[in-house]
């Protein structure tokens, strides 16, 4: 079952109206099994500017599709059509992809999207009654799809790459694409999927796809086509639901106009090791819905043929005859039809030697056809085959939908469809004798020579039939003679000839379809008029009947008549006996290990939903206990005491915080009767935002109508501001936050200032009230003041620079103390909240409980929210781009989205810098201090011959290429930790591509900047160039790779036996970063101007000073990470040699260290540099066992290790760990003493110093662990092993500090000497 609330609101109403209309129709209306038009002619029309066509086929299912002129012919660059197709049925502004999938499955529908060279088709198949829902869904897909970066990177691009690999691996597809490219060059010559030469990953982004979708889904560029839907119903729903698309594309977007197709021709040969394919192609015919249709091409295609249509026969087409001596060659003639052109292709594949001989035979046949040397009978067969294939193609639903949609878009004439529909009807009037004659001739000619001559000699038909009249059989007559005379008689009278059947053929039909009465039987004496479908059924059954001239009926006819005389028996069964399987199930489950999952591959979401029990209170939200009402009753207009108003306010505050924690509104705030009555029906003005607008306010109940109403309005507006801020930025639906409003807008149209005035009026009325105790008056007033202040803090429309917002957060924090102190004065009114309200809001299968949190938890969360809200504005205190990068993600998703808004809003960074200047600041700080490349005065140069003018052009292009990826670093930092790591993995690949592009740009900029290389005889070419832009990208890539590894420790991704390997790789990355920083320092030092010049130019002097300050601190930080990781990796390597740390989950029979190493390095395998070392190289570097045989030996001799002493190599690892950790401690202590300016932490100094302090604690603990281990090894007695002297424990706690972790990034073992 599917809850109605899970459907779209408009579609839900439409379904209800449809059901009401169906119920109001008379009972004698035509059912699904009644006869209907079999024509494939579409009725066309236009609704709300959208062209549509429908074909009302009888049946319970419907197929609807949106056909857009957005195939690969019209895409601006390879990959855009694929990307738009793969984004179909992803997240929209109203539904998530998960919700779309679940709703479609629960309704039994199928969703599909595909594209051709000219069209993009997005459609659905479903039950006929669900037409409104799926029309609304398709309208959302084409007008409200959310093109997000993470879906593009994680879901769309990998599928496009798979399609690309499939095309490249299939020689037939490759040859077809090549033939189109040679024939048409552009437009229709564009491959269906991007080829390997298309760098689509560099330019295919979410902004480009969104712009392409706006052009593709403009109303003049698509049409809606339906099969199995009435014309009136489709017109109504298309006009209601598909109206948001623009009539035409925006003028600033490119038009999808490929121009008239031109045929070029040519030749191309491609080497491939997967097979042999050859295509001969000629200009073909356009579609019959356009103006370029040539029916003779279809006849020529059928005439050439090549692939048989008769089983066990090589076929009778010209090419099948010409190539029958080459059995290892598959040949086929295909006609590719498009709107204004076509391509007739003869495709051959198979053995190379035979293909060469078959190709000669094909060419010879083509020359004979061109010379007119074709048999007349072959022409007749080709015409019949072409007509059949054309009509069959038009009758096919998928082909008909695309052809009809394309015709409607291009303005194809509807009369052509009608003409072909009439031709199809006429083709059905074929006599049975004609059918038998054609079949006999086909069978005879498929025989070998001698049997064929014998069959032709007895070609006379000697079948006989007899008339039955009044229950008596007449004389037997020759069937051929009788048919001939009947046809002549019918032709003379101008009537349709009757068809006579052999006796036993008629009896065969009688056995399958017995007459209902004797009268009905007597009306068909001696002759039988049947439809084409019945004839086909008869021909299918003739093989089961003995066509002999015998007056006796077959035995199965007698059996059928005897069965008619037998009375029907009622079948009954007690069913299978019940068996208690509890004990068996418990015993089987006890054999499973903890965490082991058993899942049936065929048990899908559909089966799981089907398994839900109806009338089970735990699974059915509509189930009512005996005496239970469907909805709880509560009078929102009843009088409330002041303490009850206070209790309701506090309970709403708890639900508000539960919503911001990530729970849906249906389980939190929307369980309140007061909010439900205020928001439904939707209030358009503030006066309508009342608890019950249908009833007059009760006199004397001003506390509810003045105070509680004002608080509820302020609460709803606060939620609206939070919702707007979150949805404006990047977040993850149902993972961070649930944005579903359940069709209840949160007073979006009402200005915040108006709500503040309403709250102020409530405060004034409350202060003047005389019948309320002073303590309760103070408590309620503090909550109203808090609601007013938080509105000011949340209202982003006030502007980013206003000091009022951060000050409001600070004042909110102060009022929270008053709220906590007066919380005990309130009285909770539980009846004013009900979980049954969500039955009208959201799907509740199984029912979802109301999420309740304690007031203490809500107060704690709200306190952090206010504190973080105030701190978020410190990011505006710009101290350089590195200071902004030092921000860490906040616990609340609202704060994280607020930081994103503050960082980049309306293309202004931190409210004071342009995007270009912000990136230039980072370039100047890291690699280009005082460089002409980032000189802001270059923008004032207008002379094209000036090198600075060309520098601006080059740098602007680089900014457009790198700025988005650079800002994605900050967005990633604002995600939750798991998403942050995943985004950084994708960004590392982007930085790798930027680095490659920057290298080419650095080469172009050398001549403009007159850069001089460093002469080094050891270099490959004797010279070393700076490559500043490439070095900048490489540094950011290395830093993000370190973060990825460190986040793996924080998220507890690595197994215990993988910690040493991961730490060693972190040490390797830090060491690589140190070398790169040294390289940058070298080239920056060479560019230092003379002291005199530096003294005169203050800006340049400050730029170099700032850059060297950054380099010194970056070098110190990288060295500290390198030393700490080196020391810990040596310690874990010692544990690996001595097998002190056992494998956490036992041994895996299908896993080994090499495979696990490859799995951990997967995020970095696609990078060009730094290259990931092989496991053998890396294990040798990390001093780990490198062979699986060695590992097996260690496992088999595990028991003997307790009596073994560590080797000299293992003890040397302890010494290395001690030295590295000693250096790490000194370096981290130096970092802790750095100034905020040097560390680039001016706006988060307190957090940063606490973080460094925790790292120091971890470093000290690691030194202690190494010292304890060395002491235990030095006192190891005779006969004792390492396991007898040491006990090692590893903290597995996730997240930040806690559960034995000193720092989230550093895993320090706890060593205990036994």
DSSP 445-500: HTS-HHHHHHHHHT-S---EEEEEETTEEEEEEEHHHHHHHHHHHHHHHT-PPP--
pTM, full prediction: 0.58
Closest CA to 1203 of 1283, 1137, 1109: 1283
Residues 6+ apart with CB under 8 A from 1189: none
Region at 688 (left for phi over 0; alpha for psi -120 to 50; beta for the rest)? alpha
Say yes or no to pLDDT of 1220 above 90. Answer: yes
Say yes or no to pLDDT of 568 above 70. Answer: no
3-state secondary structure 10-43: HHHHHHHHHHHHHHHCCCCCCCCCCCCCCCCCCE
Say yes or no to pLDDT of 358 above 50. Answer: yes
Q: Cis ω on the peptide bond leading into residue 1291 (within 30° of 0)?
A: no
Residues 6+ apart with CB under 8 A from 928: 934, 1028, 1032
Element at 1280 (helix H, strand E): none
Element at 64 (helix H, strand E): strand 61-68
Say yes or no to pLDDT of 578 above 50. Answer: yes
Span 972-1001, average pLDDT: 92
Alpha carbon of 749 to those of 30, 932, 1241: distances in Å? 48, 50, 41
Quick check: 1023 and 953 in contact, CB under 8 A? no
Confidence label for 791 from pLDDT (cuts 50, 70 and 90): very high
Distance, in Å, from the CA atom of 331 to the CA atom of 313, rounded to the nearest integer, reads: 14
Paired strand residues for 227: 55, 63
Mean of per-residue pLDDT scores for the chain = 78
Helices and strands (H and E) in the chain: how many: 50, 18
* Segment among 208-212, 781-785, 994-998 with least mean pLDDT: 208-212
Say yes or no to pLDDT of 1296 above 70. Answer: no
342-350 and 329-337 strand pairing: antiparallel
Quick check: 75 and 269 in contact, CB under 8 A? no
Paired strand residues for 332: 347
Following CA atoms 503, 508, 511, 516 in sequence, which dihedral angle do they give, to the nearest 10 degrees? -60
Distance, in Å, from the CA atom of 72 to the CA atom of 516, rounded to the nearest integer, reads: 58
Q: Which long-range contacts (CB under 8 A, 24 or more apart) does 11-16 make?
A: 11/132, 11/133, 11/135, 11/136, 11/137, 11/241, 12/133, 14/132, 14/133, 14/136, 14/237, 14/240, 15/129, 15/130, 15/132, 15/133
Distance, in Å, from the CA atom of 1166 to the CA atom of 989, rounded to the nearest integer, reads: 7
Quick check: 1256 and 1225 in contact, CB under 8 A? yes
pLDDT digit string, tens, across residues 138-164: 999 999 999 988 889 889 999 998 988
| Choice between 292 and 1022, residue whose per-residue pLDDT is larger | 1022
pLDDT digit string, tens, across residues 1237-1278: 898 888 788 888 988 999 999 999 999 999 998 888 887 766
Confidence label for 17 from pLDDT (cuts 50, 70 and 90): very low
Distance, in Å, from the CA atom of 374 to the CA atom of 90, rounded to the nearest integer, reads: 54
* Segment among 122-126, 397-401, 451-455, 819-823 with least mean pLDDT: 451-455
Confidence label for 756 from pLDDT (cuts 50, 70 and 90): very high
Span 345-352, average pLDDT: 88
Span 189-201, average pLDDT: 85
| Choice between 1079 and 403, residue whose per-residue pLDDT is larger | 1079
Span 44-63, average pLDDT: 88
Which DSSP category does 1306 fall into?
B
Confidence label for 1108 from pLDDT (cuts 50, 70 and 90): very high
Distance, in Å, from the CA atom of 202 to the CA atom of 616, rounded to the nearest integer, reads: 54
Quick check: 147 and 87 in contact, CB under 8 A? yes
**How much of the chain is helix, strand and coil, in % rounded to 5?**
55, 10, 35
* Segment among 368-372, 981-985, 1056-1060 with least mean pLDDT: 368-372
Span 1280-1303, average pLDDT: 69
Confidence label for 590 from pLDDT (cuts 50, 70 and 90): confident
Which DSSP category does 554 fall into?
P
Confidence label for 1146 from pLDDT (cuts 50, 70 and 90): low
Say yes or no to pLDDT of 452 above 70. Answer: no
pLDDT at 1034: 97
* Segment among 376-380, 414-418, 615-619, 975-979 with least mean pLDDT: 414-418
Say yes or no to pLDDT of 592 above 90. Answer: no
Place of tokens 């989230």: 1304
Distance, in Å, from the CA atom of 335 to the CA atom of 294, rounded to the nearest integer, reads: 12
Confidence label for 6 from pLDDT (cuts 50, 70 and 90): very low
Distance, in Å, from the CA atom of 320 to the CA atom of 385, rounded to the nearest integer, reads: 15
| Choice between 629 and 290, residue whose per-residue pLDDT is larger | 629
Confidence label for 484 from pLDDT (cuts 50, 70 and 90): low
Coil, helix or strand at residue 3: coil
Quick check: 1248 and 1110 in contact, CB under 8 A? no
pLDDT at 629: 81
Alpha carbon of 278 to those of 330, 345, 609: distances in Å? 10, 10, 50
pLDDT at 478: 64
Closest CA to 969 of 1002, 994, 933: 994
Burial of 325 (C-beta count, 10 Å sphere; 0-12/13-18/19+) = exposed
pLDDT digit string, tens, across residues 392-433: 776 677 677 888 888 888 775 443 444 554 443 443 343 334
Element at 773 (helix H, strand E): none
pLDDT at 598: 76
pLDDT at 800: 56
Following CA atoms 14, 20, 25, 27 in sequence, which dihedral angle do they give, to the nearest 10 degrees? 120
Q: Which long-range contacts (CB under 8 A, 24 or more apart) does 1107-1110 make?
A: 1107/924, 1107/925, 1107/926, 1107/927, 1107/929, 1108/1081, 1108/1084, 1109/1237, 1109/1238, 1110/882, 1110/925, 1110/926, 1110/1240
Q: What are the helix (H) ranges across 1139-1161?
A: 1153-1160
pLDDT at 364: 87
Q: Cis ω on the peptide bond leading into residue 1170 (within 30° of 0)?
A: yes
pLDDT at 1245: 84
* Segment among 38-47, 506-515, 851-860, 1127-1136 with least mean pLDDT: 506-515
């Amino acid at each position: 079952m599917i809850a109605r609330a899970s459907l779209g609101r408009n579609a839900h109403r439409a379904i209800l109206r449809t059901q009401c209309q169906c119920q109001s129709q008379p009972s004698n209306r035509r059912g699904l099994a009644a006869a209907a038009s079999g024509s494939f002619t579409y009725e066309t029309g236009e609704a709300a500017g959208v062209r549509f066509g429908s074909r009302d086929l009888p049946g319970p299912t419907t197929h609807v599709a949106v056909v857009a002129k957005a195939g690969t012919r019209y895409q601006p660059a390879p990959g855009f059509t694929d990307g738009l197709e793969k984004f179909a049925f992803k997240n929209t502004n109203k539904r998530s992809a998960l919700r779309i999938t679940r709703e479609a499955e629960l309704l039994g529908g199928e969703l599909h999207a595909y594209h051709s060279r000219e069209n993009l088709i997005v459609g659905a198949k479903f039950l006929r009654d669900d037409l409104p829902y799926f029309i609304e869904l398709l309208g959302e897909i084409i007008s409200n799809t959310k093109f997000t970066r993470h879906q593009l990177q994680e879901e769309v691009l990998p599928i496009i790459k798979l399609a690309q690999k499939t095309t490249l691996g299939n020689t037939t597809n490759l040859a077809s694409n090549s033939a189109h490219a040679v024939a048409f060059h552009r437009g229709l010559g564009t491959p269906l999927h991007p080829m390997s030469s298309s760098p689509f990953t560099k330019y295919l982004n979410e902004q480009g796809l969104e712009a392409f979708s706006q052009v593709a889904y403009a109303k003049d560029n698509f049409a809606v086509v339906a099969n199995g839907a009435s014309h009136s119903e489709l017109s109504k729903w298309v006009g209601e639901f598909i109206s948001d698309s623009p009539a035409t594309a925006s003028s600033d977007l490119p038009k999808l106009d490929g121009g008239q197709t031109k045929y070029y021709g040519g030749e191309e040969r491609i080497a491939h090791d997967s097979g042999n394919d050859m295509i001969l192609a000629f200009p073909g015919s356009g579609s019959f819905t356009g103006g370029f249709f040539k029916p003779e091409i279809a006849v020529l295609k059928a005439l050439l043929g090549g692939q048989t249509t008769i089983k066990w026969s090589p076929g009778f087409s010209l090419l099948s005859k010409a190539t029958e001596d080459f059995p290892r060659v598959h040949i086929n003639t295909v006609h590719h039809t498009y709107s204004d052109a076509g391509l007739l292709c003869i495709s051959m594949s198979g053995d190379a030697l035979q293909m060469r001989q078959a190709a000669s035979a094909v060419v010879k046949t083509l020359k004979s056809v061109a010379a007119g040397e074709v048999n007349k009978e072959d022409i007749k067969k080709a015409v019949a085959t072409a007509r059949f294939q054309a009509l069959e193609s038009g009758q096919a639903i998928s082909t008909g939908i695309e052809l009809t949609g394309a015709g409607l878009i291009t303005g194809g004439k509807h009369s052509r469809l009608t003409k072909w529909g009439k031709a199809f009807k006429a083709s059905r009037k074929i006599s049975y004798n004609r059918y038998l004659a054609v079949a006999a001739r086909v069978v005879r000619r498929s025989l070998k020579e001698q049997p064929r001559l014998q069959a032709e000699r007895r070609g006379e038909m000697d079948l006989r039939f007899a008339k039955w009249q009044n229950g008596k059989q007449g004389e037997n007559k020759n069937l051929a003679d009788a048919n001939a005379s009947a046809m002549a008689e019918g032709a003379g009278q101008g009537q349709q000839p009757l068809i006579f059947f052999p006796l036993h053929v008629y009896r065969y039909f009688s056995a399958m379809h017995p007459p209902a009465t004797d009268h009905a039987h007597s009306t068909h004496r001696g002759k039988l008029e049947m439809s084409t479908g019945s004839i086909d059924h008869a021909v299918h059954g003739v093989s089961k009947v003995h066509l002999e001239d015998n007056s006796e009926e077959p035995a199965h006819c007698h059996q059928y008549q005897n069965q008619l005389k037998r009375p029907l028996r009622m079948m009954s069964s007690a069913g299978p006996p019940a068996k208690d399987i509890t004990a068996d199930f418990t015993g089987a489950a006890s054999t499973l290990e903890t965490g082991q999952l058993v899942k049936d591959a065929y048990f899908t979401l559909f089966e799981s939903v089907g398994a839900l029990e109806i009338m089970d209170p735990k699974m059915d939200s509509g189930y009512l206990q005996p005496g239970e009402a469907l909805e709880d009753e509560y009078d929102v207009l009843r009088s409330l005491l002041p303490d009850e108003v206070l209790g309701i306010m506090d309970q709403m505050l708890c639900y508000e915080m539960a919503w911001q924690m990530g729970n849906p509104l249906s389980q939190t705030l929307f369980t309140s009767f007061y909010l439900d009555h205020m928001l439904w029906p939707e209030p358009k003005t503030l006066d309508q935002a009342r608890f019950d607008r249908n009833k007059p306010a009760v006199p004397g109940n001003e506390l509810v109508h003045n105070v509680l109403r004002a608080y509820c309005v302020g609460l709803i507006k606060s939620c609206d501001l939070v919702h707007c801020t979150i949805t404006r930025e990047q977040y993850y639906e149902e993972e961070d936050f649930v944005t579903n409003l359940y069709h209840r807008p949160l007073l979006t149209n009402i200005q915040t200032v108006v709500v503040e005035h309403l709250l102020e009026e409530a405060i004034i009325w409350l202060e003047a009230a005389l019948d309320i105790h002073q303590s309760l008056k103070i408590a309620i007033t503090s909550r109203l003041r808090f609601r007013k202040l938080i509105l000011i803090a949340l209202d982003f429309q006030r502007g980013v620079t206003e000091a009022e917002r951060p000050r409001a957060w600070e004042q909110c924090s102060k009022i929270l103390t008053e709220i906590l102190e007066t919380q005990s004065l309130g009285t909770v009114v539980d009846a004013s909240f009900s979980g049954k309200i969500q039955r009208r809001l959201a799907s509740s299968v199984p029912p979802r409980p109301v999420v309740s949190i304690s007031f203490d938890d809500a107060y704690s969360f709200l306190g952090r929210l206010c504190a973080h809200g105030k701190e978020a504005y410190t990011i505006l205190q710009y101290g350089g781009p590195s200071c902004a990068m030092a921000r860490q993600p906040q616990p609340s998703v609202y704060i994280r989205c607020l930081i994103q808004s503050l960082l980049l809003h309306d293309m202004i960074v931190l409210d004071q810098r342009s995007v270009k200047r912000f990136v230039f600041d980072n370039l100047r700080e890291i690699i280009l201090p005082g460089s002409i490349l980032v000189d802001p005065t270059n923008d004032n140069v207008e002379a094209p011959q000036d090198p600075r003018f060309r520098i601006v052009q080059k740098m602007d292009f680089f900014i457009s290429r790198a700025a988005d990826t650079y800002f994605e670093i900050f967005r990633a930092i604002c995600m939750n930790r798991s998403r942050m790591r995943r985004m950084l993995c994708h960004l590392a690949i982007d930085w790798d591509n930027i680095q490659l592009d920057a290298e080419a740009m650095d080469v172009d900029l050398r001549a403009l900047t007159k850069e001089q290389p460093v002469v080094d005889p050891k270099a490959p070419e004797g010279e070393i160039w700076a490559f500043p832009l490439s070095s900048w990208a490489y540094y950011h890539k290395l830093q993000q790779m370190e973060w990825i590894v460190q986040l793996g420790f924080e998220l507890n991704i690595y197994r215990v036996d993988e910690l040493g390997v991961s730490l060693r790789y972190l040490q390797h990355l830090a060491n690589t970063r140190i070398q790169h920083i040294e390289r940058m320092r070298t080239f920056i030092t060479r560019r230092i101007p003379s002291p005199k010049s530096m003294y005169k130019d203050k800006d340049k002097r400050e730029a170099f000073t700032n850059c060297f300050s950054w380099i010194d601190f970056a070098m110190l930080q990288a060295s500290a990470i390198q030393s700490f990781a080196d020391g810990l990796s040596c310690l874990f390597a010692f544990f690996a040699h001595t097998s002190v740390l056992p494998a956490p989950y036992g041994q895996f029979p299908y896993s080994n260290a090499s495979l696990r190493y490859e799995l951990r390095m997967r995020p970095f395998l696609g990078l060009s540099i730094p290259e990931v070392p092989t496991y053998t190289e890396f294990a040798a570097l990390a001093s780990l066992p490198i062979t699986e045989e060695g590992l097996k030996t260690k496992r088999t001799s595990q028991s003997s290790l307790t009596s073994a002493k560590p080797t000299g190599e293992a003890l040397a690892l302890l010494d290395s760990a001690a030295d590295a950790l000693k250096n790490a401690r000194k370096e981290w202590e130096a970092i802790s003493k750095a100034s905020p300016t040097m560390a680039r932490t001016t706006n988060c100094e307190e957090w940063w110093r606490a973080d460094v302090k925790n790292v120091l604690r971890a470093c000290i603990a690691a030194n202690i662990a190494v010292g304890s281990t060395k002491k235990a090894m030095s006192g190891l007695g005779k006969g004792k092993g390492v396991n007898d002297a040491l006990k090692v424990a590893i903290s597995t706690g996730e997240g930040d500090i806690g559960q034995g972790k000193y720092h989230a990034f550093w895993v320090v073992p706890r060593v205990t000497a036994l």
